[in-house]
A and B are shown apart, each in its own frame.
Chain A
Amino acid sequence: MQASPIHGFWNLPTNAAAHGHALDTHLLLNLWIALALLALAHLILLIGIAIRKRTPRPYQQLFIEYLPLAALTLLFAFLALRAQQLWAAQRYTGADLSAMQVEVTGQQFVWYFRYPGADAAFGRTRLSLVDPANANPLGIDPSDTYGRDDIVTSQLVLPANREVDLTLRAQDVIHGFAIPGMRIKQNAIPGQTTHIHFTPETPGDYAILCTQVCGMGHYRMLATLRVLPLADFNTWLHAQESTRSEPQP
């Protein structure tokens, strides 16, 4: 079920998200341009040292400084504009209203994922009610009826080809939520909620990493995203709903 982790000259993990194709194309374009400019600059440097020219110097600042600068300005403006289009498409608006809702909570050193259940609404949480020993690691308030059917998992399971809206939270310190295979990364900040949305395309298992140093166990704050075909996902979700125990008192 697992694709080979990395591929190609630039070592990228296989992309499995809808927005990732354009992102990868743009990233590879940037990398090749940087490599070409690197080679060109070093070539000029080495040739310039090797050859000898002792004519009185009719150096033209226009040709040596301003024209290359203008060319670089155009190049960077083009790259920045294209990057901006992709950034705006992903970030300027939130997820579609029909997107699936999942809440992600980071705490030293685990990720929890919460699904809203049949009522499609998350129950209220209180940090004072957090009690991992009694199966309430997120502090879901039992007095809130919305929370009664919430499902909490330690693995993120998503259906393929449906947009998902992740709500990111942190209980203690800043964590970085990243799924390299889905080309997303966003910090989870205590006291604040942030959102990120994407559409997984290819079923499979993908790495979830913490990318903001969060304490001694930072290196093991890992989780798995499992993308399932829609039918399999529904089966999984129903199984979770039926095994969900009664809310904690």
Chain B
Amino acid sequence: MNPLPIPTNPGAPFMARLLRHEWVSAKLRHATHHRTIGFGYLLLSLVAVIIGALLSLIMRTHLAWPNWQLPLHGPILPEEYLALVTMHGTLMLFFVLTVAPQSGFGNLILPAQLGTRHMAFPRINAAGLYLTAFALVTLLAAFFVPGGAPIGGWTAYPPLSATPLAGPGQGFGMDLWLASIALFSIATTLNAINMLTTITNLRCEGLTWERLPLTVWGWFTAALLSILAFSVLLAAILLLFCDRHLHSGFFFPAQDLISGTLLQHRGDGSPLLWLHLFWFFGHPEVYIAILPGMGLTSMVIANFSRRRVFAYRLMIATTLLIGFLGILVWGHHMFVAGLNPFAGTAFSISTIAIALPAAAKVFSWLATTWGSRPRLATPMLFALGFVSLFITGGLTGPILAQPILDEYLHNTFFVVAHFHLIMAMAGVFGLFCATYYWAPLLFHRTLSEPLGKLHFWTTLLGAYSTFLPMHFTGLAAEPRHYSQLTGIAGPSAALLQSTLPLQRHITASAIFLVCAQLPFFLNLLLAWRRPANKDTNPWDATTMEWAPNAFNPHPIDQPSIVYRGPSHYADTGTEFLPQWSPVNTFNTEAE
């Protein structure tokens, strides 16, 4: 580990002396070490995912059994239900699916995969972690302020989000939400700059762009998207903050009558502007969540099939293409929002186009495993689970991309099913895959296989049992964000009530899905108690993080050198050549 250069600013001799102090500099080195930061991010995600999952269980139980009383709380009120929805979405999207794959595993694994020892900007990196932690605390504080957490969903459409008059939670709670996401945007941008610089500048000798593992390409593309998307989100949040507190009118029409109060003389803005800005961020955001998982899936499938990644260059190209198309498709969230119908046609074309690079990835995964009789260890199972969920969730994408069909399906549970399968479940399977795969590096121990397999099969069953039926309640036209499906007379009530049996099944499955995570935590706890494992490369992996000492470099180690691309397995499947091995025992150049 390189000692940090201590700034020698003559204007601040005290600070310089303090920083040079042995204890302080050791602490600072530790705090800015990419592993400390990576584990810090994972810890934040763990807190967020536990809270987020518990919120969803409260939500689900209330929806299926509206008279249920939350212990120590009482019945769930409509505004509380919407606050749960908002906070569940915000926690999961930002603090789990953005933080864990990109900032968490990115920081932990990326330097080792590049054959380097540190990230480009250690202190910016640490600042990102603290900002994210502060953002999480700020967000959770919204539960405890008068009015409670915001009720407008994670998309925060104005004018609902633009004035406290619009409902409970839209006052101080909404301000905290905005502050939290603003901090989060800054933190994510800092992290993205750090990752891009590290990947561009700190690759070790021999590690050309074409030899980069697909995980690095995933992080690279996600970091590019982060910079574009989060800067726009930050701008939108500042505008919304001005509308809320400085009486500007970016998102307000000339006159708006909310709760009997007429808001006027603010100029003539449009709520549609927020939708454009938000979804310009929001759609790339889902690719930020899933691209690292796609890269890891490619590498793990090749590793356990003992094959090369099928069509490696095409996989690099499709990663970049998905990223590029990802910034051109935001309008598909707005087919029925009041856009010109020609815009619907344009966004429909760009959205359906994304299905093609995504399908190319699926073909590569299928071709890589085909006929390999892979070793079905837990990381491989989760990678295959990722493929399955990605296919199932992905196939409804082109359906929703057709404006005329979206007109019927928009904001129904069909959409909820779609994005939970392709983004949430596939994303989480990517995270589990990463945890089981890299456990020997992260914890110096392999996790238990029987417990891992139990975890995989129950989680897969729970995921499908929870989210597949949502397609059917959605096709029955059940809208999202309804806190109650019973109690109102008329044909609307008949429609909503017809979905109740399926909703009860979904709730039961969701409880099962959360319980299915217990073997995982048990597995981590048991591993903690086992002695450390000396086998540094138990999966016969080929990428640089598995090189001796790569994950825990010693200061006197020679700099790493890369001799070939990743996943070079011999056709017989018995031999393999890792990236760090200088000897060629079989011809590796055939692509």
Which A residues contact B (CB, under 8 angstroms)? Answer: 2, 5-6, 10-13, 23, 26-27, 30-31, 34, 37-38, 41-42, 44-45, 48-54, 56-57, 59, 61, 64-65, 68-69, 72-73, 76, 79-80, 83-84, 86-88, 90-92, 107-108, 127-128, 130, 171-174, 176, 178, 180-181, 183-187, 189-192, 194, 205-220, 222-224
Contacts of B473 in A (CB 8 A): 11
Q: Contacts A49-B376, A127-B262, A172-B159 known; A69 to B356 CB distance under 8 Å?
A: yes
A59–B482 Cα gap in the complex (Å)?
A: 51
The 5 A-B pairs of least Cβ separation, nearest first, read: A191-B253, A53-B371, A180-B477, A83-B402, A91-B341
The answer to whether A87 and B344 have CB atoms under 8 Å apart is yes
Contacts of A69 in B (CB 8 A): 356, 359-360, 363
Contacts of A49 in B (CB 8 A): 369, 372-374, 376, 384
Q: Which residue of A lies closest to B151 (CB)?
A: A216
Q: How far is the CB of A55 from chain B (nearest CB, A)?
A: 8
The answer to whether B372 and A219 have CB atoms under 8 Å apart is no
A86–B359 Cα gap in the complex (Å)?
A: 26
Contacts of A13 in B (CB 8 A): 476-477, 495
Q: How far is the CB of A51 from chain B (nearest CB, A)?
A: 5
| B572 on the A face (CB < 8 A) | yes
A55–B429 Cα gap in the complex (Å)?
A: 32
The answer to whether B159 and A171 have CB atoms under 8 Å apart is no
Q: Contacts A34-B396, A59-B367, A216-B168 known; A186 to B492 CB distance under 8 Å?
A: no
The answer to whether A45 and B387 have CB atoms under 8 Å apart is yes
Stretch at the interface among B182-190, B264-272, B527-535: B264-272
The answer to whether B369 and A73 have CB atoms under 8 Å apart is no
Contacts of A176 in B (CB 8 A): 336, 410-411, 479
| B78 on the A face (CB < 8 A) | yes
Q: Which residue of A lies closest to B486 (CB)?
A: A219
Q: How far is the CB of A59 from chain B (nearest CB, A)?
A: 7
In-complex Cβ contact of B352 among A27, A64, A80 (8 A)? A80
Contact with A along B296-327 (1 / 0, CB 8 A): 00000000000100110010000000000000
In-complex Cβ contact of A186 among B336, B356, B491 (8 A)? B336
In-complex Cβ contact of A174 among B168, B271, B407, B408 (8 A)? B271
In-complex Cβ contact of A41 among B151, B254, B391 (8 A)? B391
Contacts of A42 in B (CB 8 A): 388, 391
Contacts of B336 in A (CB 8 A): 176, 185-187
In-complex Cβ contact of A84 among B345, B391, B494 (8 A)? B345
In-complex Cβ contact of A6 among B310, B476, B490 (8 A)? B476
A30–B485 Cα gap in the complex (Å)?
A: 28
> A interface, by DSSP: helix, strand, loop or mixed?
mixed
Contacts of A51 in B (CB 8 A): 371, 373
The answer to whether A220 and B255 have CB atoms under 8 Å apart is no
Q: How far is the CB of A179 from chain B (nearest CB, A)?
A: 9
The answer to whether A72 and B345 have CB atoms under 8 Å apart is no
| B79 on the A face (CB < 8 A) | yes
Q: Which residue of A lies closest to B396 (CB)?
A: A34
Interface centre among A79, A91, A217 (most CB of B within 10 A): A91
Contacts of A54 in B (CB 8 A): 371, 571-573
Instruction: Supply 23 A–B pairs (Cβ within 8 Å), ascending by A.
Output: A13-B477, A30-B402, A31-B399, A38-B395, A41-B391, A49-B376, A53-B372, A68-B359, A69-B363, A87-B341, A92-B341, A171-B256, A171-B258, A172-B258, A174-B159, A178-B477, A185-B411, A213-B85, A213-B480, A216-B168, A219-B78, A219-B482, A224-B492
Q: How far is the CB of B416 from chain A (nearest CB, A)?
A: 12
A209–B268 Cα gap in the complex (Å)?
A: 29
The answer to whether B255 and A127 have CB atoms under 8 Å apart is yes
A52–B177 Cα gap in the complex (Å)?
A: 53
A110–B38 Cα gap in the complex (Å)?
A: 49
In-complex Cβ contact of B363 among A64, A171, A222 (8 A)? A64
Contacts of A83 in B (CB 8 A): 348, 402-405
The answer to whether B363 and A68 have CB atoms under 8 Å apart is yes
A27–B399 Cα gap in the complex (Å)?
A: 8
In-complex Cβ contact of B310 among A2, A37, A64 (8 A)? A64
Contacts of B410 in A (CB 8 A): 176, 185, 211
Q: Contacts A51-B371, A83-B404, A219-B484 known; A76 to B160 CB distance under 8 Å?
A: no
Q: How far is the CB of B519 from chain A (nearest CB, A)?
A: 23
Interface centre among B168, B401, B404 (most CB of A within 10 A): B404
Q: Which residue of B lies closest to A41 (CB)?
A: B391
Q: Contacts A68-B359, A219-B78 known; A61 to B404 CB distance under 8 Å?
A: no
A108–B82 Cα gap in the complex (Å)?
A: 15
A80–B351 Cα gap in the complex (Å)?
A: 10
The answer to whether A11 and B356 have CB atoms under 8 Å apart is no
In-complex Cβ contact of A30 among B384, B405, B572 (8 A)? B405
Q: Which residue of A lies closest to B153 (CB)?
A: A213
| B277 on the A face (CB < 8 A) | no
In-complex Cβ contact of B481 among A84, A218, A223 (8 A)? A218
Q: Which residue of B lies closest to A27 (CB)?
A: B405
A88–B344 Cα gap in the complex (Å)?
A: 10
A79–B384 Cα gap in the complex (Å)?
A: 29
Contacts of A108 in B (CB 8 A): 166-167, 258-259
Contacts of A87 in B (CB 8 A): 341, 344-345, 348, 402-404
Contacts of B255 in A (CB 8 A): 127-128, 191
| B461 on the A face (CB < 8 A) | no
A92–B339 Cα gap in the complex (Å)?
A: 12
A27–B405 Cα gap in the complex (Å)?
A: 6
The answer to whether B360 and A212 have CB atoms under 8 Å apart is no
Contacts of A57 in B (CB 8 A): 307, 571
The answer to whether A172 and B259 have CB atoms under 8 Å apart is yes
The answer to whether B495 and A207 have CB atoms under 8 Å apart is yes
Contacts of A205 in B (CB 8 A): 490-491
A31–B472 Cα gap in the complex (Å)?
A: 11
Contacts of A172 in B (CB 8 A): 159, 166, 256-259
CB-contacts of B119-143 with A (<8 A): none
Contact with A along B388-422 (1 / 0, CB 8 A): 10011001101101111101101110000000000
A211–B151 Cα gap in the complex (Å)?
A: 15
Contacts of A56 in B (CB 8 A): 571
Q: How far is the CB of A180 from chain B (nearest CB, A)?
A: 3
A90–B403 Cα gap in the complex (Å)?
A: 11
| B483 on the A face (CB < 8 A) | yes
Contact with A along B463-502 (1 / 0, CB 8 A): 0000000001101110111111100101111111010000
Q: Which residue of B lies closest to A92 (CB)?
A: B341
Q: How far is the CB of A195 from chain B (nearest CB, A)?
A: 10
Contacts of B391 in A (CB 8 A): 37-38, 41-42
A87–B339 Cα gap in the complex (Å)?
A: 13
| B362 on the A face (CB < 8 A) | yes
| B349 on the A face (CB < 8 A) | yes
The answer to whether A171 and B388 have CB atoms under 8 Å apart is no
A216–B151 Cα gap in the complex (Å)?
A: 7
Q: Which residue of B lies closest to A73 (CB)?
A: B356
The answer to whether B152 and A213 have CB atoms under 8 Å apart is yes
A245–B170 Cα gap in the complex (Å)?
A: 39
Q: How far is the CB of A222 from chain B (nearest CB, A)?
A: 4
Q: Contacts A108-B259, A184-B407, A211-B412 known; A65 to B373 CB distance under 8 Å?
A: no
Contacts of A52 in B (CB 8 A): 371-373
The answer to whether A2 and B494 have CB atoms under 8 Å apart is yes
Q: Contacts A45-B387, A64-B310, A218-B483 known; A213 to B160 CB distance under 8 Å?
A: yes
The answer to whether A5 and B494 have CB atoms under 8 Å apart is yes
Q: Contacts A45-B388, A174-B271, A183-B407 known; A222 to B493 CB distance under 8 Å?
A: yes
A2–B495 Cα gap in the complex (Å)?
A: 11
